[in-house]
């Protein structure tokens, strides 16, 4: 028996390891800061459990190896992929699988150059900054455009694949984007598929979850909705979801920003004296329903009524 094996403990308390690692805090933050996404949160917890068991096996002197942790996040815009990637970086750091636990978020433009000799240094610089943490590549399918014979994305892909294989104990790469486009990307680049161990799908938020997200955003900024504005927001979410380019929580944030703009204009235009904190912090139905989303929705409803008549 080797000295290392002789010094190894004979039992491991996984719950104690979980508590002492700080992983619990990260998972609680994930629950607290992100509404919904139950299947995503379940997969993150499963991954944490796997990593805890791998660490326990190492401490007991059992056969172990660095698990492949590269991931694919698929889903529509505004479903929390970047936020979850940030939490994943923190989780991997707490569990001892990356040195720093930082997140470097990039797109094609950060990796691919515009002329010969430009791509390699750009890609290597990004990888250098990401070492010890997580590299998040959003809309990864844009890395290579085969329809453009002068595209240099393939060079970036080859460098990424090499680093993902050779430095997997010091870097985790997360590829993100729409599910169908990511599937086509993996079919065209089997090297990526073979290196991705975890595929996590991000569902769209329900109307009720989007309403709660809006409430959370407003609470953070010390705003409130009147009862009528609450109803208007419910109608807005239903109409906006049916329109093009809907981006889940991102669309809700944009809608609230525009409602605040209308509120500010309304208050300034009508102001004849001092305003208290309640007036400055309240959004009305007027601030919500002035959106073009309602005009489009009403016009569509009018056309449907005329056709049915």
Dihedral sign of CA atoms 212, 217, 219, 225 in order: negative
Range of the domain at 134: 3-202
**Contacts of the segment 258-262: beta carbons below 8 A, 24+ positions apart:** 258/291, 259/283, 259/287, 259/288, 259/291, 260/223, 260/287, 262/286, 262/287, 262/290
- In angstroms, the CA 21 to CA 185 distance is 36
pTM of the model: 0.85
- Single out the residue in 142, 167, 202 at which a domain terminates: 202
Rounded to 10 degrees, what is the CA torsion of 14, 15, 17, 18? 120
Question: Per-residue confidence of the chain (309 residues) as pLDDT tens digits?
Answer: 455 555 667 888 888 888 888 889 999 999 998 999 999 999 999 999 988 888 888 888 887 677 889 999 999 999 999 999 999 999 999 998 999 999 999 999 999 988 888 899 999 999 999 999 999 999 999 998 777 767 788 899 999 999 999 998 899 999 999 999 999 999 988 889 889 989 999 999 999 999 999 999 999 999 999 999 999 999 999 999 999 899 999 999 999 999 999 999 999 998 778 899 999 999 999 999 999 999 865 445 444 444 444
CA dist 106 → 82, 109, 125, 126, 290 (Å): 11, 8, 12, 8, 36
In the DSSP assignment, the letter for residue 204 is P
Sequence-distant (6+) residues with CB within 8 A of 285 are 226, 228, 229, 231, 232
**Contacts of the segment 145-150: beta carbons below 8 A, 24+ positions apart:** 146/188
Same domain, 297 and 180: no
Same domain, 227 and 135: no
Same domain, 114 and 141: yes
Same domain, 267 and 157: no
What's the structural domain count of the chain? 2
Widest CA span of the chain, in angstroms?
A: 88
Same domain, 212 and 65: no
Same domain, 162 and 278: no
Strands laid side by side in the 71-75 sheet: 103-106, 134-137, 172-177, 71-75, 198-202
Same domain, 9 and 113: yes
- Single out the residue in 202, 235, 262 at which a domain terminates: 202
Q: Is 106 helix (H, G, I), strand (E, B) or coil?
A: strand
Which CATH number is 280's domain given?
Answer: 1.10.8.60
CB of 234 closer than 8 Å to CB of 211: yes
Same domain, 100 and 163: yes
- Choose among 159, 167, 158, 156: nearest CA to 108: 156
Same domain, 62 and 7: yes
Upper half-sphere CA count for residue 246 (Cβ side, 13 Å): 16
- In angstroms, the CA 36 to CA 205 distance is 7
Same domain, 271 and 124: no
- Single out the residue in 185, 202, 219 at which a domain terminates: 202
Same domain, 171 and 280: no
The helix (H) or strand (E) run that includes residue 136 is strand 134-137
Which CATH number is 55's domain given?
Answer: 3.40.50.300
- pLDDT at residue number 12: 83
Same domain, 54 and 186: yes
């Amino acid at each position: 028996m080797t000295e290392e094996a002789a010094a190894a403990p004979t039992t491991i308390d996984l719950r104690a390891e979980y508590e002492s690692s700080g992983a619990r805090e990260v998972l609680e933050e994930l629950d607290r800061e992100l509404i919904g996404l139950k299947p995503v949160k379940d997969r993150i917890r499963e991954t944490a459990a796997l990593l805890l068991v791998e660490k326990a096996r190492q401490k007991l002197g059992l056969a172990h190896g660095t698990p492949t942790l590269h991931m694919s996040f698929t889903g529509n815009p505004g479903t929390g992929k970047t936020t979850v990637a940030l939490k994943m970086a923190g989780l991997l750091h707490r569990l001892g699988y990356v040195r720093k636990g930082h997140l470097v978020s990039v797109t094609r433009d950060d990796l691919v150059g515009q002329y010969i000799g430009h791509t390699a240094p750009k890609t290597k610089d990004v990888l250098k900054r990401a070492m010890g943490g997580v590299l998040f590549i959003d809309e990864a399918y844009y890395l290579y455009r085969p329809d453009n014979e002068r595209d240099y994305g393939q060079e970036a892909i080859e460098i990424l694949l090499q680093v993902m294989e050779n430095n997997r104990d010091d870097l985790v790469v997360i590829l993100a984007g729409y599910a169908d486009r990511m599937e086509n990307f993996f079919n065209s680049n089997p090297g990526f598929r073979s290196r991705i161990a975890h595929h996590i799908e991000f569902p769209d938020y329900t109307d009720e979850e989007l309403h709660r997200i809006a409430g959370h955003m407003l609470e953070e900024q010390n705003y409130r909705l009147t009862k009528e504005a609450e109803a208007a927001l419910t109608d807005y979410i239903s109409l906006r979801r049916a329109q093009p380019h809907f981006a889940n929580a991102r669309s809700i944030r944009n809608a609230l920003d525009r409602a605040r703009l209308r509120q500010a204009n309304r208050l300034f235009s009508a102001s004849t004296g001092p305003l208290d904190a309640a007036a400055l912090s309240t959004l009305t139905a007027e601030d919500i329903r002035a959106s073009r989303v309602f005009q489009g929705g009403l016009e569509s409803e009018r056309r449907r009524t005329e056709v049915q008549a």
